[in-house]
Amino acid sequence: MQFNRFAPDETGHAMKGTFGLGLFAAFSAVVLWGVQLPIGKDVFPVVGAVHVTFIRYGLATLFLVPVLVFVEGRASLSYRGKVLPAVVFGVIGMCASPMLVFFGMSLSRAEHAVVIIALQPSITAIIQWYAQGRRPANFTLACIVCAFCGVLLVVTKGDIAMAGTPRELLGDFIVLCGATCWVIYTMAINRLAGWSALRLTVLTLIPGLAATGIVAGVLVEAGLIDVPGTAALGSVMWELLYLAIAGVLISMLLWTYGTQRIGALNSSLLINFMPVVTFAVRAWQGHPIAAVEVTGAAMVVLALVANNIYLRMQYLKRSG
């Protein structure tokens, strides 16, 4: 999802005749992602964030590898001279990003995490401005400022003195680092051009999973985390299955299917509503949510929606 100018070939034209089905698929993926953050937050006291990341991506890999072989054949498992970029991007996007987001959320709150994650389009625009000299339009810059102000409202509840404990602030910063890792991954995967979305996901997921296992092993050996026991895993089995099957496998397939049929601009508009889902779930669970937090989340969502509409209008003008 981009928060900057889209070139014509970056918009992802919708496939004719299946727009409604694609819209439903993409929105369903957003709902699944929005629900998984509160579920993950509730699991962390029982199974730590590092092991949760390894389990969910491990189970997803076991399912996705056969799917890739079935769809594209055994040859699709070959890296064909792209091992290095696949490994590097896999570690950044499929290991560092989810691990940092989940670990940061374990120190903070799901409501904070989801609005920080929603900043990814803004982070993309800032990185492209710095690294590529692609200055965003003034309207986009205004939306970025509005989105960041919204995040500050959520984190501080409108009062810097109430910014939360040092533990929460550290967690929020770690989530921001994880979100930035995902931006780097999505910006860099064009170096793997020629691979389908499914193949790209699987072949970067494999090294990412391996790196996660290594990190978990090192932390266990260092005595910093414990290996969850059978009883602990069994007590949150259904939650772990949701995080792996719904949160990774099903949502990824739905998102890919939907984006191919409604286009990237439409899908990026839908994903902006993920904070709404997370806030609704947390409220349903009985967690108190202050009005200022809702206001901050609304600022983030509205800023992203406004910029998406602006990008859509700019693209239509350029395409005649």
- Whole-prediction pTM: 0.82
Contact assessment for residue 247 and residue 36, using Cβ atoms and an 8 Å cutoff? yes
Encode pLDDT of 267-305 as tens digits: 667 777 888 888 888 888 888 777 888 888 888 888 888
What does the pLDDT look like over 22-65, one tens digit per residue? Answer: 888 888 988 999 899 999 989 999 999 999 999 999 998 998 99
**Mean pLDDT, residues 100-109 taken together:** 91
Contact at 8 Å (CB) between 27 and 271?
no
Burial (CB count <10 Å: 0-12, 13-18, 19+), residue 63:
middle
CB of 250 within 8 A of CB of 32? yes
CA distance 221 to 198: 34
Q: What is the pLDDT of residues 160-215, one digit of tens each?
A: 555 567 888 899 999 999 999 988 887 777 777 788 878 888 999 999 999 999 99
Please list, residue by residue across 222-257, b when 16 or more beta carbons sit within 10 angstroms of its beta carbon and e when fewer do.
Answer: eeebeebeeebeeebeebbebbbbbbbbbbbbbbbb
8 Å CB contact between 155 and 164: yes
